[in-house]
A = this chain, B = another copy of it.
Amino acid sequence: MNQKLSSKKAVYARFFPLLGDLRKSDKVEFSQDLLAGTITAILLIPQALAYSLLAGLPPEVGLYASVLPPIIYAFTGTSRALAVGPVAVAAVMVAAALAPYAGGDPDKYLTGALILSALTGFIMLCMGFLRLGWLTHFISHPVLTGFTTGAAIFIVGTQLAALTGISVPRGVSFAVLLQTLIDNIHTYNLAAGLFGSAAVVLLILARQPLVVLLTTLGMKQQSALILGRTAPLFVVIFAILLSWLIDAQVRFDIAVVGLVPQGLPMPSVDFLKAEGWTELLPAAGMIAVIAYVESISVAKVLAFRRRQKIDPDQEFRALGLANVAAACAGTMPVAGGFSRSMVNFDAGARTQLAAIVTASLVGLAAFLFTGLLENLPKAVLSAIIVVAVWQLIDIKGLKHTWSYDKGDGIAQGATLVGVLAFGIEHGLMLGVGLALVLFLYRTSRPHIAVVGRIGGTEHYRNIHRHKVETWPHLLLVRIDENIYFANTPRVETELHNLVLDSDITDVVLIFSGVAYVDTSGLEMLETIEQELSSSGVRLHLAEVKGPVLDRLCGTQLYDRLGEERVYLSTDKAVEQLICPSS
């Protein structure tokens, strides 16, 4: 009975980590979560409005994305401080997917967003239950950085239009965007530009300079940092007041947010009846992968700082539920935002209770304050987006990657350029594909070293790099790569060239770097062995790893070599083979 209870508890703990956390929490943690949740809400409200505009959706949709989805994640996610909600990169991917789908029809556009959320959620749930999280490992870090930088530059480009009041079409490539901006430069709106640039300046000042000022005035750095992060809300309030005072919309023709419906919509599954699921599936797949990768990276960083654990598969399930909830709540796909989660963590969030506090405050705001947003210039929201995504632009990282590894540098650069030249999705596919091709290319040209013994040891190293002992009749060759189809012809050629030397009577292949020999590799080794044998040269193997040896047993090669020509260590092979001459 007790055992049954505890196994039930284990299931609860696995699928609802928050309940376990809360049982262990004390009052101090509750108050910390309360404070962190409030600060995150102050940051989130303007971001939510801004990111829904970035996705091409009405501003209130961003608020909806910040209430139900994070509450669902709070109960199911394994990260304590991840702040789930609308994020910039997913928002711009939504815009790219929906522009061709909706073709200018705002109702269809909104329905499409719900379908995207639902599909994203379903894909994530599948990945979580099928334990396919490892598939996301194929997005290398350089590709992800290149992708984020490219997406951020693209977002800044789209917001330049809103900042200056120039209208550009949605869902176009970066080049077309820039071209339209330049062509329509004369249609700029001075007042919108002033609102936008003032907001940008204020938001930048609220970062480093404000923190420096506040700490000089004696405030703790941590508190100063957090206070700085709440600046967007104050900028918004100030902008609303000013816009209302000068009647900016009527007198200066500024684009404002306009009427925002009060409250939250009833959850609904009407979107299930809509059409376009197949059409939006590829885009949803990309959003699911990117949303997951972005979330899990932040979650890992934060968990590491407090020595906590993240369950990657449960994260997929939790984010999947959050996205299905987003569809039901009538909003766009959600993910764990990087900067927002950092603020949440720095403000002291200990459990996902903080996220529930945040969501409740945003929900409250949706009921009480939407009326105030009417006069908010859209340029101010664009300013918030620009300042937020500007930090994602990482050009230094590209230089750094290039200096360590040219291949990774190329993949990172190509992803960045690809996102701008061919669009968000194609850029990502290009980068992932290129990274894989470069890896395959590398493994198809393995490093092969002739080695000799380092005097007085049993250790063998490259004859070109170390001072080593060698023997004229004995060739020791170390193959530094798995032997598989893409490199067998090359390994074969290199071995041929090495053996051309006619004094050699024994060749030892050192397999310390070989974790795997596939069928093509085995056939090549069998051919080489027969060839050498017919020229009176004996082939030997040394340092064959357990898993490789297990496979080789029973092959024709192993039958021909026999146990006596497969040595545990290179040194044993050498001792055996130089014995007659010593």
Q: Taking beta carbons and an 8 Å cutoff, which residues of A are in contact with B?
A: 134, 137-143, 304, 312, 401, 404-405, 407-408, 435-436, 439-440, 442-444, 446-447, 449, 454, 457-459, 461-462, 465, 480-482, 484-490, 512-516, 518-520, 522-523, 527, 531, 545-547, 551, 555, 568-569, 571-572
**Which chain B residues lie closer than 8 Å to A546 at the CB level?**
449, 462, 465
Q: Is the CB of B571 within 8 A of A457?
A: yes
Report the separation of the CA atoms of residues A477 and B405 in the bound assembly, to the nearest whole angstrom. 25
Q: Is the CB of A484 within 8 A of B569?
A: no
Q: Is the CB of B404 within 8 A of A522?
A: yes
Report the separation of the CA atoms of residues A140 and B523 in the bound assembly, to the nearest whole angstrom. 11
The one of B134, B545, B572 in contact with A447, judged by C-beta atoms closer than 8 angstroms, is B545
Q: Is the CB of B457 within 8 A of A569?
A: yes
Report the separation of the CA atoms of residues A356 and B523 in the bound assembly, to the nearest whole angstrom. 34
Contact A141 B435, CB 8 Å, known A444-B134, A462-B546, A545-B480 = no
**Which chain B residues lie closer than 8 Å to A454 at the CB level?**
568-569
Contact A137 B458, CB 8 Å, known A512-B512, A518-B405, A519-B404 = no
**Identical chains in the assembly:** 2
Q: Is the CB of B447 within 8 A of A547?
A: yes
Q: Is the CB of B518 within 8 A of A140?
A: yes
**Which chain B residues lie closer than 8 Å to A551 at the CB level?**
404-405
Closest to A520 in B: B141
Q: Is the CB of B462 within 8 A of A142?
A: no
A-B contact pairs, 26 of them (CB 8 A): A134-B444, A137-B486, A137-B487, A137-B488, A138-B440, A140-B485, A141-B485, A141-B519, A142-B519, A304-B527, A312-B489, A404-B522, A405-B518, A439-B440, A439-B484, A439-B485, A439-B486, A443-B443, A457-B458, A457-B571, A458-B458, A458-B571, A459-B571, A480-B545, A480-B547, A481-B515
Q: Is the CB of B516 within 8 A of A401?
A: no
**Which 4 A-B pairs give the minimum distances between C-beta atoms?**
A140-B485, A480-B515, A458-B458, A408-B519
Min distance, Cβ A78 to any Cβ of chain B, angstroms = 14
Q: Is the CB of B457 within 8 A of A519?
A: no
The one of B304, B408, B568 in contact with A459, judged by C-beta atoms closer than 8 angstroms, is B568
Min distance, Cβ A364 to any Cβ of chain B, angstroms = 39
Report the separation of the CA atoms of residues A347 and B258 in the bound assembly, to the nearest whole angstrom. 90
Q: Is the CB of B545 within 8 A of A515?
A: no
Contact A407 B518, CB 8 Å, known A444-B134, A485-B141, A486-B137 = yes
Report the separation of the CA atoms of residues A442 and B514 in the bound assembly, to the nearest whole angstrom. 13
Report the separation of the CA atoms of residues A571 and B569 in the bound assembly, to the nearest whole angstrom. 13
Report the separation of the CA atoms of residues A541 and B454 in the bound assembly, to the nearest whole angstrom. 19
Q: Is the CB of B520 within 8 A of A404?
A: no
The one of B138, B401, B485 in contact with A486, judged by C-beta atoms closer than 8 angstroms, is B138
Report the separation of the CA atoms of residues A481 and B514 in the bound assembly, to the nearest whole angstrom. 8
**Which chain B residues lie closer than 8 Å to A407 at the CB level?**
518
Closest to A312 in B: B489
Report the separation of the CA atoms of residues A134 and B571 in the bound assembly, to the nearest whole angstrom. 35
Known interface pairs A404-B555, A457-B458; 16 further A-B residue pairs with C-beta atoms within 8 A, sorted by A's residue number:
A134-B444, A137-B486, A140-B486, A140-B518, A304-B531, A312-B489, A404-B551, A436-B436, A436-B440, A439-B440, A447-B515, A457-B569, A458-B458, A458-B571, A459-B568, A461-B568
**Which chain B residues lie closer than 8 Å to A484 at the CB level?**
140, 439
Min distance, Cβ A445 to any Cβ of chain B, angstroms = 8
**Which chain B residues lie closer than 8 Å to A531 at the CB level?**
304
Q: Is the CB of B571 within 8 A of A446?
A: no
Min distance, Cβ A18 to any Cβ of chain B, angstroms = 24
Report the separation of the CA atoms of residues A183 and B146 in the bound assembly, to the nearest whole angstrom. 57
Q: Is the CB of B443 within 8 A of A482?
A: yes
